[in-house]
Amino acid sequence: MASLCGIKRFLAPSSLSLGSHIARALGTSSCRQANSSDGWLSKLLHVRKIEPGKDSHSRLLSDTEVVYELQIHDVKPDGVQPYLKGYETYCQLLASKAPDCELVGSWQVVIGDQDQYLHIWRFKQGWRSAHSSIHLCNTDDDLVKLQTDESKYLRARQNQYMLPFSFWGNPEPKHHGGMYEIRSYVLKPGTMIEWGNNWARGITFRKANAVAGFFSQIGQLYMVHHVWTYKDLQARKEIREDNWRKPGWDECVAYTGGSNGLGRTLCLELARRGARVVIACRTRLRRDSTAFFLREKTGSFNVRVMYMDLTNLESVREFAKELIASEERLDCIVNNAGNNIATHVLGVVRHEVCARYNTQLAKMYVRIAIVAGCTTTTRTKE
């Protein structure tokens, strides 16, 4: 989900503006240091061990007492102007009553969840300031009235409290132009330290466009928000493509990519070692981009990327049938599929409902179908 935002006029000149809001599910793996007792996969991927330590994740990942709040407001289309006017008054009044509470930035979503507005507040004295602000907003008559009036123009609203990553620092004003981007991720529980360690290295390749990085503390847990700034969409495209050509950036992104991280890294290493690699991708767009990536990185055309949607058993059968007919042998199957189950609402078509139940079954089915149909199957040792 992508969105672009414009800064609103009630912000101070030193405030920030943020752009697109992209929510993306993420899965990462546990890290272990390869040693004499580890298997070949650990040695192949050069994973390093991260000690859990005795401190909380917030202490390990953030070195400041400053706390941030992200507010997300979904506004009724016919209530935008009165909402903006009311929120401007609210910001000015809150700033006068709570000097430790500062509005960092306020944005209107342009691409993505339209009629959505994002606001980030900074509490300079940490949790003490945050608690005082909550108490003030619920007891001060003027603030309560403003919030009540604002609620008439809202469809929904939510918030969460966040801390900044120490390697990213606190957000400072940027002067690149009118476009900002927020990329939001939901991590697997227990992987926040791994995420921070990998991005502490990866951020060095994109420092010029980095604005801020946060992780949630109260509200929806295991969420990460990265904030970037670009002059325009064309500049964003060119900068992102240029980053992929920098040595080291692709490894960081591949490792923290979630849906194709370890799988793509493993296939990349196998292809570099001269193996014939066949990869199944659940969308045709991902199939084409993965094929281009692997061939560009390895210089090998002995890489085949095929389409297979695990949520559709018919797609799995077609994949198995085509693979058996075109490949002479199969030595190893790597099952790196994650839980590809989407949420649906009432009234969806029959196929979408079935997709929720087919996913796990399809993973087993593809192994049975392919192995049963192959003329040569060789068992490999570690």
Residue 248: per-residue pLDDT = 66
CA dihedral 236, 242, 247, 249 (to 10 degrees): 10
**Domains recognised in the chain with CATH numbers:** 5-244 (3.30.70.100), 260-373 (3.40.50.720)
Q: Are 94 and 157 in contact (CB under 8 A)?
A: no
Look at the block and give the residue holding tokens 């306020």.
106
Kindly give the confidence (pLDDT) of every residue in the chain, 382 residues in length, as a single tens digit, with 9 standing for 90 and above.
Answer: 333 454 443 443 333 333 333 332 222 233 333 344 444 444 444 444 445 455 566 667 887 789 999 999 999 999 999 999 999 999 999 999 999 999 998 888 888 888 899 999 999 999 999 999 999 999 999 999 999 999 999 999 999 999 999 888 788 776 655 788 888 888 877 778 878 877 887 787 788 888 899 999 999 888 999 998 888 889 888 888 887 777 666 656 655 543 356 666 777 777 788 888 888 776 666 667 677 777 777 777 777 878 887 667 788 888 888 888 888 777 777 665 444 333 333 333 333 333 333 444 444 445 455 545 544 333 333 3
What pLDDT shows up at residue 190? 76
pLDDT, tens digit (0-9, with 9 covering 90-100), for 175-201 = 655 788 888 888 877 778 878 877 887
Task: Report pLDDT digits (tens) over 286-321.
Answer: 667 677 777 777 777 777 878 887 667 788 888 888
- Reading the block at residue 357, the tokens are 């139940």
Between the two ends of the chain, the Cα-to-Cα distance in Å is 40
- Which pLDDT belongs to residue 159? 95
**What's the pLDDT tens digit per position in 133-170?**
999 999 999 999 999 999 999 999 999 999 999 888 78
- Give the max Cα distance, the chain: 78
pTM for this prediction: 0.58
Interatomic CA distance for residues 59 and 49, integer angstroms: 19
